[in-house]
């Protein structure tokens, strides 16, 4: 069975704090893809990153960084020096097999206060 | 990145009527399109997968006769909510992908309110 768990329902931080959003996944497939999406209040999903199962290198993009660890089936997302504009719901998702279907986690609502 | 549009962005309809939502890939050929439903403060739940020219594959628990999906061309898929009821009110999001990439490009979503 495939499953994505985002245990943090809501996180509230003050601007400039660092924040890490957790994501744990389950799959029996050896080839799979992991994603992070941002959903601002407007509702439109914004793609942040895709990582395939064979690439465990961590990635940094500006204030965003991702830590992929197959040993713990985790794909955590860190925002450094958070800003109010980072306030949104963040979804972690998994795709495996050849259907391309995405399995989404429950989402984490991040509120960054000024 | 590739662009996917949805129309309409918002729709209000009366109970018992049918509503059609369009999903278009504007600058690439979408061999596969996905339809998701999202309740307030909830995650996205996959409703169905449609491949161009063939019948859609529905997820368990999704009524095929209520949510009609058509993927007649490589750039257009439609979702028709038939005989809508207030409990069908939701945010519907489509996504599209091509054979060349595992990437799914999401549309902006359609907010359906059934009164």
How confident is the model over B63-72, as pLDDT tens digits?
999 999 998 8
Question: Among partner residues B42, B46, B91, which is closest to A102 by beta-carbon distance?
Answer: B46
Cβ within 8 Å, pair B106-A44 = yes
Q: What is the pLDDT of residues A50-74, one digit of tens each?
A: 999 998 888 899 999 999 999 999 9
Q: Is the pLDDT of residue A33 over 90?
A: yes
Mutate to test the interface with B, among A10, A31, A102 (most CBs of B within 10 A): A102
B55: DSSP letter: P
Per the prediction, chain A carries an average pLDDT of 94
Q: Using one digit for the tens of pLDDT, what is the confidence trace for B94-111?
A: 999 877 666 789 999 999
Over 90: is that where the pLDDT of A82 sits?
yes
Residue A88 has pLDDT above 70, yes or no: yes
Interval A9-38 mean pLDDT: 96
pLDDT-above-70 percentage for chain A: 100
Q: pLDDT at position B102, please?
A: 63
HEC per residue, chain A: CCEEECCCCEEEEECCCCEEECCEEECCCCCEEEEEEEECCCCCCEEEEEEECCCCCCEEECCEEEEEEHHHCEEEEEECCCCHHHCEEEEEEEEECCCCCCEECCCEEEEEEC
Of A33, A44, A102, the CB nearest to B108: A44
Q: Per-residue pLDDT averaged across A7-32, rounded?
A: 96
Give the per-residue pLDDT at B9.
96
Interface membership of B60 toward A (CB under 8 Å): no
Average pLDDT rounded to a whole number, residues B63-86: 94
What pLDDT does residue B101 have? 65
Q: Is A41 on the interface with B (CB under 8 A)?
A: no
CB contact under 8 A, A43 and B109: yes
Cross-chain Cβ contact B43/A104 below 8 Å: yes
Taking only the tens place, the pLDDT of each residue in B20-56 is 999 999 988 888 999 999 998 889 999 999 988 888 9
Residue A89: name the closest of A11, A14, A33, A25 by CA. Answer: A11
Tell if the CB–CB gap between A43 and B46 is shorter than 8 Å: no
Check if B104 contacts A (Cβ < 8 Å).
Answer: yes
A91–B34 C-beta distance less than 8 A: no
């Amino acid at each position: 069975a495939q499953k994505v768990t985002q245990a943090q329902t809501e996180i509230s931080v003050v601007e400039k704090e660092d924040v890490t959003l957790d994501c744990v996944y389950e799959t029996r497939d050896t080839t799979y893809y992991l994603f992070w999406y941002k959903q601002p209040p407007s509702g439109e999903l914004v793609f942040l990153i895709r990582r395939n199962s064979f690439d465990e290198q961590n990635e940094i993009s500006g204030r965003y960084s991702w830590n992929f660890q197959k040993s713990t089936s985790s794909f955590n997302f860190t925002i450094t020096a958070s800003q109010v504009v980072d306030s949104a719901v963040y979804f972690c998702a998994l795709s495996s097999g050849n259907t391309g279907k995405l399995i989404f986690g429950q989402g984490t609502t991040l509120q960054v206060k000024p | 990145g590739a662009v996917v549009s949805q129309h309409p962005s918002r729709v209000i309809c009366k109970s018992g009527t049918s509503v059609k939502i369009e999903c278009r890939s504007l600058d690439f050929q979408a061999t596969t399109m996905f339809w998701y439903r999202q309740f307030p403060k909830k995650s996205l739940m996959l409703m169905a997968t449609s491949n161009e020219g063939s019948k859609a594959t529905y997820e368990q628990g999704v009524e095929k006769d209520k949510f009609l999906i058509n993927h007649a061309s490589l750039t257009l898929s439609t979702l028709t909510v038939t005989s809508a009821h207030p409990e069908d009110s939701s945010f519907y999001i489509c996504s599209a992908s091509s054979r060349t990439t595992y990437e799914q490009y999401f549309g902006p979503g359609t907010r359906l309110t059934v009164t």
